A and B are shown apart, each in its own frame.
Chain A
Amino acid sequence: MTQKSLEEQISAFIDDELDPRELPLFTAQVSRNPDLRRKLLRYRLAGDCLRGEHQRAGSVMDLAERVQAALIADAPAASMAPPRRQAPAWRWTALGAAAAVVLAVAVVMQAPVQQPTGSETMLAASDSRLSPITVAVQPLPAPVRAEAQAAAARQMRMTSYLVYHGEFAGTLSSRTVASRIVDQDSGARWMPARHAVHTHD
């Protein structure tokens, strides 16, 4: 398409006389070519002048550019896509609390535990070179506590499954790294009798 025919299309567009089949390509071409876009603005201005309806030319001609720039700068806010549903804040709080409890349980099972003193639990590392870690345990709200307990139970079931699966899956009795690790936990030993697990090599 030549520059001349594009400019003639601009003229026809202003008059609402553009062929509908020309519109998509025309729109794309003008949006890509700043010179054509300026020409479109000037053609419109000339018409406004002829009718005595023109305002201060420069400022009005800049308006379309300002709108475009604002839409690009404000793309996420100006986006017409429907907003994504966000999970309620309490769900994230509960999940975070559950994860913290699971982590705490895992730490407790890995290391020798001293007697709790008051609201604090002193976790002493088995390696004497490491200094003791003090973890402050805050009481959890009832719904969060229930969620945490459920998460811990799920974790226990998964641990047992890994141990069981690691024992019976391979004919060479090669266990997975995960099962070797969780095998050390006492929580992995509640399997039913028919699936008795021999956890020691």
Chain B
Amino acid sequence: MTQEQIDRQLVRKAQRGDRAAFDMLVIKYQQKIVKLVMRYVRDPVEALDVSQEAFIKAYRALPNFRGDSAFYTWLYRIAINTAKNYLVAMQRRPMEYDVDLQDPEQADIAARLRDDDSPEGIAQREQLREAVEKAIASLPEELRTAITLREVDGLSYEEIAQAMDCPVGTVRSRIFRAREAIDSSIRPLVE
């Protein structure tokens, strides 16, 4: 099942008033949306407020979403417009980039170029990164390979199964076990 198929199914349920389905969409895309909004609104607290507003706008506009584009593309535009409107309301100019922020691919590059944060935020991110790296390093080889192929290289289960010469069900299980191990390392840091 592709990402678009899952999104379409969740969107259809959300359009019928299923808030749990919309919640899944929020969880799925919140990280991307916050990152996107932070390119316009640098303050992390404000960025979260704007992101929240963008998701609420998206929920209200869902009946008008016909599925001509992918859900994320549609959500992406709503988030950009919400961020721009916020800056206008605050009488601030959007930051200027040499890249086209309307293009999701180029916007990612811009984020990496201009990504900064408070010392506290940087320290927390560093702590998390170290915990995840430590957990990955201690994983059995087959679990480490499976999770890396999935999360870093973006391979599908089918592709990983071919690469590791094992059934798709085994890939699914290995990735899950790797995630469980990582989760036990990061849980004390985020809960």
Counting CB contacts under 8 A, is B42 at the interface? no
A7 touches B180 (CB 8 A): yes
B24 touches A11 (CB 8 A): no
Per a CB cutoff under 8 Å, which of B2, B128, B151 touches A51? B151
Contacts of A14 in B (CB 8 A): 28
Using C-beta atoms within 8 Å of the partner chain, give the interface range for chain A. 35 or more
Supposing A50-B132, A60-B31 touch, asked if A42 and B56 sit within 8 A by C-beta, the answer is: no
Contacting A at CB under 8 A, from B140-159, are 147-148, 150-152, 156-157
Contacts of A1 in B (CB 8 A): none
A60 touches B60 (CB 8 A): no
B30 touches A45 (CB 8 A): no
CB distance from B24 to the nearest CB of A (A): 6
Main secondary structure of the interface of B (DSSP, over half): helix
Per a CB cutoff under 8 Å, which of A19, A63, A78 touches B30? A63
B152 touches A51 (CB 8 A): yes
Using C-beta atoms within 8 Å of the partner chain, give the interface range for chain B. 35 or more
Per a CB cutoff under 8 Å, which of A8, A52, A64 touches B26? A64
**Closest 6 interchain pairs by CB?**
A31-B20, A11-B176, A49-B132, A16-B3, A8-B176, A50-B151
* Chain B interface residues toward A at CB < 8 A: 1-3, 5-6, 9-10, 13, 15, 17-24, 26-28, 30-31, 34-35, 38, 44-45, 48, 51-52, 55-56, 59-60, 62-63, 117, 121, 124-125, 128-129, 131-132, 136, 147-148, 150-152, 156-157, 172-173, 175-176, 179-180, 182-183, 186-187, 189-191
User: What are 7 A-B interface contacts by the 8 Å CB criterion?
Assistant: A49-B128, A57-B124, A57-B189, A60-B30, A67-B52, A79-B17, A80-B15
